[in-house]
Structure 1
Amino acid sequence: MLSIGLALENIEHLEERLVAVSTPGNPEYGRYLDRGEMEDFFYPSPEAYGTVIAWLQNAGVEYVSQQGASINFATTISNANKLLDTRFAYYNVDGVQKLRTKQYSVPGEVTQYIHLIHPTTYFGKTRSHKMPEDMIMQSKIAAAPFETNINAATHCSALVTPDCFRNAYGVGHYKPDPDSGSRVAFGSFLNQSARLDDLHLYQSTYGIPLSNFSVVTINGGLDHQDPNGHIGEANLDAQFENAMSYPLPQIQYITGGKPPFIPNLDKPTADHNSNEPYLEYYEYLLNRTNDELPQVISNSYGDDEQTVPPEYAKRVCDMIGLMGLRGITVLYSSGDTGTGASCLSNDGKNHTEFTPAFPSTCPYTTSVGGTQSWGPEIGWRASTGGFSNYFPRAWYQENAVEDYLKHGINSKAKAYYEAGGFTNFSGRAFPDISAHSLHPNYAFFSRNRQGSTGGTSASVPIVAGLIGLLNDVRLRAGKPTMGFINPFLYGIMTKGGSLIDVATGTATGCDGTNSQTGEVLKGSGIIPYASWNNTVGWDPVTGLGMPNFADMAKAALLVAD
């Protein structure tokens, strides 16, 4: 099966439209597009669909389907060779046969309509195609050993329970209206599936009214509910988002499959490919009506930016921007490897450099970093942050990042990083906001047992649930939802002091190990003294700081629509 991503029309106007609907004070603020308006302005013309489909059918392709701005098709190898003027072949890589081609082309009459075709030219040293082990369960820093008989009243400095984070971030006893129209969601990939039984145990233990999340499967995703399957990541997403936002409706989107992949030292073979199939995910979501969609989606996943093909990353980022135009906040965890793990470029030059994480580097996401300790919290040493090598600095963060580069970062460290070419200070800076990650750990349930967990995977559903509450506040006041929230955060929040600044802490990395798993990475790039520092204002460890719901809700109601 091959997929053709058709070229989007008017995509050069995406950002200006997103600025208008997302910036408080703009006359267009909150005037989001519905599906039809989005498709009319940005999606390929009927001529584009017709021309590409006719090209496929004239070449003898019988199995053709359309999904949003993509066309999927299946054909024989010989026909694919003729179609793409190439030669697909089975490459024997570590004893496994993999069908790929080194290059392809399309005829002139369809060139203008095609953005990318995948998978075609991306190779991995495949051994077997299996899902990676449950990283939440095996991580040396993101999951503590399972315990039994944990007291729900344990002090927050020992174990973080719902009352801890609801009080820390100003939610307290606020109760949203389940009929306000505010809906929250989380994405599950890599055969992850949250278990309702575990959610109910979590709810019962911490006095949360019992409720269910609904499930939508995409691209062959499976809601397996298997206590012996991959459930740890999805379970913490379901439980923490629910604990922050109950009784708002909650949706789990389970997406199957894996996308193109470029190996690097941290993910050396296709057997290690844990990149998520983002295109299929967003094609499905954008094809829904606004009434079918949540207004905030938490995603506790991310990839080393350099393992994602640039054109694929650009396409995904544009689709996330379209989600923002629809009034949807898309959040991603920033990562658990500090300044990076492999810290070596995979472009053939083997240049030592920091390793940013995608999709957090997409300027249209809200990237969530992590903190540690309690009362007060400080920057988590493994919170991933930094600057993109793919995307330029975003318009909404220009002042905040410039202030950090002029006053926040140690001048000698900045000069050292610049001289070594370790980072791209002009790139999109991340994270944007943070919440507690680890030390102390979060209480959660998995496999019908109580245990503890953490990481930025835990931070992002907390923030997503809180944004669901902000949407509830605005909807009950007759206002539109927050939508793409970054301009609000960097603008009104920094002026009004409604975020909890995290001015202490340091994130480290690039020391030859993967801080998430504890694995020693032989041959990795070593950057002595590699670190980011916390400071007053924005920094690459915790972004602008942690949320304060009470103050944010007041600011959200004062925004002119």
Structure 2
Amino acid sequence: MVESVKQAALVQQGWSVARTPALEETVTLQVALTLTDEEKLFQKLRDVSDPKSKEYGKYLDRDDVNAIIKPSDEANNAVVSWLKESGASYVHSDGTWVTFQTTVGKANELLEADFVQYQRDGVNKVRTTSYSVPAEIAQHIDFIHPTTFFGKTAAFNPVLIPRQPIPVPRPGKHWYEKRQTASCRQSITPGCLKAFYNVGNYTADPKAGSKIGFGSFLNESARYEDLRLYEQRFKIPSQNFTKIFVNNATDDQSTSSTSAGEANLDVQNIIGIAAPLPVYEFLTAGSPPFIPDLDLPTAANNSNEPYVPYYQFLVSKKNSELPQVISNSYGEPEHTVPYQYARRTCTLAAVLGLRGISVLESSGDTGIGSGCKANDGTNRTQFNPIFPATCPYITAVGGTESAYPEVAWEDSSGGFSYYFPRPWYQYYHVQDYLETGISNATLKYYAPYFNRYGRGFPDVAAHSLHPNYEVFVNNRLRASGGTSAAAPVWAGLIGLLNDARIRAGLPTLGFLNPWLYGDNDKFLVDITAGSAIGCDGINHQTGFKFEGAGIVPWASWNGTVGWDPATGLGIPDFQKMLKNVVADEK
């Protein structure tokens, strides 16, 4: 039988073999069926997202999009038959994914694989470094997982440190300077954010229809009591939020929880800036449907990579069941994610955009990179872009620091994708940066370490750290921050803009990037100072030395005029954005 290799990977840094599982032990795997017409999907997304298009705002709903990309019956039937004939059990297909359970021995035979249990930092995963499928089946599938994706999906751990003042730069002539108060030099509150970003006295109507969502992965869960304390401290009228559980996710409301910091930062920042709009938390625990097995004996320790299951859940719902803007603060170095897995995740984000839903991702908190080594076997030094922020159908949010003027935060992740080419909407902005925003000598020096033709990120930015955000975690007021804070701030602002558009009889903003890059000079404040650093042998999330890291002396992305890989296009001016999306469109 002719075989076709689908995936091959190296064991990623930090993972080691824990044991060889018994051949009779079980594993649960999923087959991603090939989508039918992705190019049509991407073209229609461009049409409905470009304000210059006659189709702008004419979004599709679930069934309309499914008609474009749903895998063929031929593909589904071929894969299901192949699995059943091979002795797999619990074979189930939803038309896009085929889930099955089998033994380690049969999986090794079926896929010409070698499944081994690996461990890292107390996490165990059964993975293989390669697999193959018959050629007649290969044409029908994108990938099988979890197989070669080791991953270390995690929140961009919000910084939890004592609050303290920092030196304030010499004031600049910014529109928000006169709105700034001395207290905002010490810590960031909802009032500070509204002053920074010129929200003014805008008040949303919670019944108009605008809704905001955020994702919580790997047992992260926002606490109701912490939100109540936050609202009480900042005199925000009491409101709660709705939890939606994906794939047997768990909800830990105890004060002993160690998995509330990220989720609390998300919900508190969103409500702090966008109250009283409804807010939804999507708690996602891993790959569906969950069947306890060797890798994951209980739902509580399900550590499968959540991106595809999360987005697959979202696209399975009708538009009326979803928020119109969703923020996520999770990611990992792009090269650790298998290309086909990353591409499918990105396509699902495009599906949401075509349906009028804005997807935002924090760009990451590791600057240019921490490990700064390729994992393709060459061990060469390279900058490390962060996925999913590198997906061109997502709005990536970078970070700033200081109060006024804001400058690029040194740990804000940014750069250029190795997987995704530079998209049409940012082509000239990024090209201008490469030609005028960075010297020829620097560009030549960086050339071996990045892909100048890749999708540039972030797209925009907001305050991340220094001063720190005030956040309640386990009933205590803590200092926090990072791009994990910046993304939900942007989500809150987009929720307010959607509220205004809905009340004006206009469609929601949907996929934001064509609008942002088209009109950025009308409503964004360019950040031209500060820099994002990295590849210096330090893990910028922990502050500790990164053993074996690639070193690039003096590596940094500087804040410059126009788009740059530190802060993207800049920070928002809400009132100007409001005028642009409502008054100027009528």
Give the TM-score normalised by the residue count of structure 2: 0.86
Matches within 5 A, 1:77-226: 77-84=104-111, 86-90=112-116, 99-122=126-149, 136=157, 142-145=159-162, 155-226=183-254
**1:21 maps to 2:48:** yes
Tell me the SS of whatever aligns to 1:471: helix
State the identity %: 50
Shift of 1:47: 3.0
Structure 1: gaps of 5 or more residues:
125-129, 148-152, 260-272
What is aligned with 2:559?
534
Aligned counterparts of 1:155 and 1:518: Cα–Cα separation in 2:
28
Distance 1:528 1:207 in 2: 47
- Contact in 1 for aligned 2:326/2:357 (Cα 8 Å): yes
CA RMSD, 1 decimal? 2.4
The within-5 A match list for 1:446-465 is 446-465=473-492
1:66 counterpart = 2:93:
yes
Question: What is the aligned partner in structure 2 of residue 502 from structure 1?
Answer: 527
Name the CA distance, whole Å, in 1 between partners of 2:119 and 2:357. Answer: 42
- Is the 2:71–2:95 Cα contact (8 Å) retained in structure 1? no
**Alpha-carbon distance, 1:245 to partner:** 1.1
What is the CA-CA distance between 1:108 and the residue it aligns to?
4.2
Question: How big is each residue's C-alpha offset from its partner over 1:55-93, in whole Å with a ceiling of 9 and x where there is no partner?
Answer: 323333331233462111112334434543x25454677
CA displacement at 1:51 relative to structure 2: 2.8
2:561 maps to 1:544: no
In the other structure, the counterpart of 1:249 is 278
Give the Cα–Cα distance (whole angstroms) in 2 for the partners of residues 429 and 319 of structure 1.
20
Contact in 1 for aligned 2:398/2:567 (Cα 8 Å): yes
The answer for the alignment partner of 1:347 in structure 2 is 376
Q: Which amino acid aligns with 2:345?
A: V
Over 3 Å counting, the alpha-carbon distance change for 1:102 and 1:344 in structure 2 is closer
Sort the Cα spacing of 1:435 and 1:121 in 2 relative to 1 into closer, same or farther, 3 A.
closer
Amino acid at match of 2:205: D
Could you tell me which runs of 5 or more consecutive residues in structure 2 were left unpaired when the two chains were aligned: 1-27, 165-180, 289-301
1:310 paired with 2:339, answer: yes
Aligned-partner residue type, residue 543 of structure 1: G
Distance 2:582 2:511 in 1: 16
- Given the alignment of the two structures, is residue 433 of structure 1 paired with residue 460 of structure 2, yes or no? yes
Which residue identity lines up with residue 214 of structure 1 in the other structure? T
- Could you list the per-position Cα deviations for residues 403-446 of structure 1 after superposition, in whole angstroms to 9, with x for gaps in the alignment? 1112111332112112xx01111110010000000000011101
Name the structure where strand makes up a greater proportion of residues: 2
Does the 8 Å CA contact 2:157/2:541 hold for their aligned counterparts? no
Q: Does 1:291 align with 2:348?
A: no
Match of 1:357 in 2: 386
Of the structure 1 ranges 222-231 and 202-211, higher mean CA displacement relative to structure 2 is found in 222-231
- CA distance 1:89–1:16, shift in 2 (3 Å): closer
Counterpart of 2:310 (choices 266, 281, 288) is 281
Describe the shift of the 1:223–1:354 C-alpha distance in structure 2 as closer, same or farther (beyond 3 A).
same
Are the equivalent residues in 1 in contact too, given 2:156–2:365 (CA < 8 A)? no
1:84-129 deviations in Å (ceiling 9; x for gaps) = 3x254546779999644454333344332211111224568xxxxx
Aligned counterpart, 1:270? none
**How big is the shift at 1:136?**
3.5
Q: Displacement, 1:16?
A: 1.3
User: Match for 1:481: what amino acid?
Assistant: T
Task: Provide Cα deviations, 1:166-200, integer angstroms capped at 9, x if missing partner.
Answer: 12111122111111111101001121100010011
Instruction: Give, in whole Å, the separation in 2 of the partners of 1:154 and 1:71.
Output: 57
425, 433, 447: which one aligns with 1:396: 425
Alpha-carbon distance in 2 for matches of 1:484, 1:107: 38
| Structure-1 separation of matches of 2:349 and 2:36 | 16
Partners of 2:228 and 2:125 lie apart in 1 by 43
Calculate the TM-score normalised by the size of structure 1: 0.89
Q: Relative to structure 2, which stretch is displaced further, 165-174 or 409-418?
A: 409-418
Measured in 2, the distance between the counterparts of 1:88 and 1:351 equals 27
Q: Relative to structure 1, is the Cα distance of residues 64 and 440 closer, same or farther in structure 2, using a 3 angstrom cutoff?
A: same
Q: State the distance in 1 between where 2:441 and 2:107 align.
A: 55
Q: Deviations over 1:541-561 (max 9, x none)?
A: 111000111111111125659
Shift of 1:356: 0.6
SS of the aligned residue for 2:32 comes to strand
